[in-house]
Amino acid sequence: MDTLVLVWDLRTGEKVHTLKGHQLQVTGLALDNGDIVSSSVDCTLNRWRKGQAVESWEAHKSAIQTIVKLPSGELATGSSDTTIKLWKGKTCTQTFAGHTDTVRGLAVMSDLGILSASHDGSIRLWALTGEVLLEMVGHTSIVYSVDSHVSGLILSGSEDRFAKIWKDGVCVQGIEHPGCVWDAKFLENGDIVTACSDGVVRVWTIHQDKIADPLDLELYSSQLAQYTLSRKRVGGLKLEDLPGLEALQIPGTSDGQTKVVREGDNGVAYAWNLGEGKWDKIGEVVDGPDDGMKRPVLDGIEYDYVFDVDIGDGEPIRKLPHNRSDNPYDTADKWLLKENLPLSYRQQIVEFILQNTGQKDFTPDPAFRDPFTGSSAYVPGEYSKSATVAKPAFKHIPKKGMLVFDIAQFDGILKKITELNSALHSDQEKKHLALSELEISRLGALVKVLKDTSHYHSSKLADSDIAVLLSAIKSWPTTMIFPVIDTLRMVVLHPDGATLFLKHVEAENDTLMEIIKRVTENPSLPANLLTSIRLVTNLFKKSSFFNWLQRHRVEVLDAFSSCYSSPNKNLQLSYSTLILNYAVLLIDKKDQEGQSQVLSAALEIAEEENLEVDSKFRVLVAIGSLMLDGLVKRIALDFDVDNIAKAAKTSKDAKIVEVGTDIELLTKAS
């Protein structure tokens, strides 16, 4: 931050040189044949030799965030202008364009090329020719750092509080932290070290003899659980305020009555089954809004502040909402878009917010203070002018990567399967359908493997375990199969589980189509529909299922088409997620006929009035992505997508407004 580069003697710990020359903070250093080359937010690279400045040049038009020396002898730089540049001396030999936001971290991948981490949430592996070899999408926020290991594994650290490990472009492990992961690096032995915004450095090991004391592990788990719980809201209530499972001992009063209870770290919805006199599990509840105390309300949403803004010229007073935890630049962007005001007002609005919230030095949350910019995680708006003119800045499209349902209450699922199995055992007519004690014990072992996500890259599943699940789904009464399907939903997220299941799917009697037919022919059971649609949605995580998903898209979408009009919000969200994943897949496959079908389904859902916010958002992102990157823009225009965009812009939810604006921009560009 002080703009200096300091050179230290490692033997004495004393400072040898103070290198002055940069105008703004220094963001990176590389050693180049005895010289030091430094990068800075002032857009320049400086070369230093024996304590003296040798040369300086403007390397990018926006802040340079990172620099790395390549085995080829060239230097690579990443910038807020979204590009990566290769340098031989002061000559730029190559520019890599592809990221849609700041390139924040770079690393060398032995014998393959360059890794980049970006504020757009993705990681890319580039060949030195500029070709993208892999794009890794899985983080839900800014990715700050990336590193590689000789084993071929890739490591990334993000503001979403996860360090993630990638193999062949697939995330094989996510390590959760109680704060932003600013940096993550491999040690030579394959262990990992992370730097977290809670001020703690942690080493994560693959070696059994190095694992920390059980007490330390317990303490960390409890710290993580406490951190998660303190932030968790379900349906507007604190998770800890929800009743426990004992609430299910009280019978319901009417068929279909719902109740939300706390199970572990999640809120889970149950529906009263009058015919059988029991509560059927529907599924996890999507988090609701914060339940803030006595805060100002605008359009039914509570904020820390709601300001009156007078923009003059006889215009009416406008209401500007803002939360202290939000980035003022984001607030200004969203508000100007919603109010249809020129983006040239942006800086004035930001200064107005800072002045009226007492945030002169703008540090919304000390835990998320960017060590490079010194302010909140990232101040956007540093693109080069030519970049923004050439390509409209869309907020939410196109969608990259697939969404999955990867949270499960394993203990609850296993308990339910055991209960149902006991019921079969005690019924003389159905006794032959029950699983043996050995099979139930094997399911317990299977669940143990599925729980241990940190070893997904090395753990194995047995084909016999998959066979037990499929046999139960096929032979058990329809009312009993939902927890078994739910287990299968998690099995397919395990690399080995997906491979084993694929064999059954590709067999002559396609097991998956049989499951889909069985649950959709009796659609009165929401729990069966929900678990099976999430099972199919999770298949999109594995490219080995892409051909099956593309081939069977008509049957799959038709089978679940009733879900979007269901009063069950979880079913709506699951179907919208299926639609969005199909849009991403069929754009990639350049399948025009498939894109038309998905677009048609998405447009139909978007017009549904009683649609839950996240469901609406996902179908709108699907529509926008199909219009931008797909082959069906003309069809969307013929179906009055303009009206859908206008309706979205009147929403009370900011992200719906933003994606509505994205779609409107596309319609105007036609």
Q: Give the model's pLDDT for residue 293.
A: 41
Q: Give the model's pLDDT for residue 314.
A: 63
Nearest residue to 296 (alpha-carbon basis) of 286, 307, 282, 310: 307
Q: What is the number of residues in the chain?
A: 670
CB 140 within 8 A of CB 82: no
Q: Give the model's pLDDT for residue 324.
A: 72
Nearest residue to 212 (alpha-carbon basis) of 191, 196, 226: 191
297-357: CATH, from 3.40.50.10860, 3.30.470.10, 3.90.1300.10, 3.10.20.870: 3.10.20.870
Q: CATH 3.10.20.870 region(s) of the chain?
A: 297-357
Q: Give the model's pLDDT for residue 232.
A: 60
CATH C-level class of 565-669:
mainly alpha
Q: Give the model's pLDDT for residue 471.
A: 92
Nearest residue to 378 (alpha-carbon basis) of 195, 144, 198: 144
Tell me the two tokens of residue 442: 């094997």
Q: CATH 1.25.10.10 region(s) of the chain?
A: 397-560, 565-669
Tell the CATH topology of 397-560. Answer: Leucine-rich Repeat Variant (1.25.10)
H-helix segments, 539-591 = 546-551, 553-559, 569-588
Rg of the Cα atoms in the chain: 27
Q: Give the model's pLDDT for residue 387.
A: 28
Which runs of E-coded beta strand occur in 5-160?
5-9, 14-19, 26-32, 35-40, 44-49, 52-58, 64-69, 75-79, 83-88, 91-97, 103-109, 113-118, 122-126, 132-137, 143-148, 154-158
Q: Give the model's pLDDT for residue 639.
A: 86
In a 3-state reduction of DSSP, which class is residue 617? helix
- Non-local (6+) Cβ contacts of 553 within 8 A are 582, 586, 594, 597, 598
pTM over 0.75: no
Nearest residue to 30 (alpha-carbon basis) of 101, 107, 103: 107
4-206: CATH, from 3.30.1490.20, 1.25.40.10, 3.40.50.300, 2.130.10.10: 2.130.10.10
In a 3-state reduction of DSSP, which class is residue 483? helix
Task: Please give the biggest Cα pair distance in the chain.
Answer: 90
Q: How far is CA 2 from the centre of its chain?
A: 35
pLDDT along the chain (670 residues), means of 10: 92 94 92 94 93 94 93 94 93 92 92 92 92 88 92 92 91 90 94 91 92 89 76 61 81 81 76 84 58 60 78 72 77 79 74 70 45 46 31 74 87 92 91 92 92 82 92 92 94 92 87 90 81 94 92 92 84 93 93 93 87 90 91 88 90 87 84
Q: Give the model's pLDDT for residue 358.
A: 62
In a 3-state reduction of DSSP, which class is residue 105? strand
Amino acid identity of 128?
L
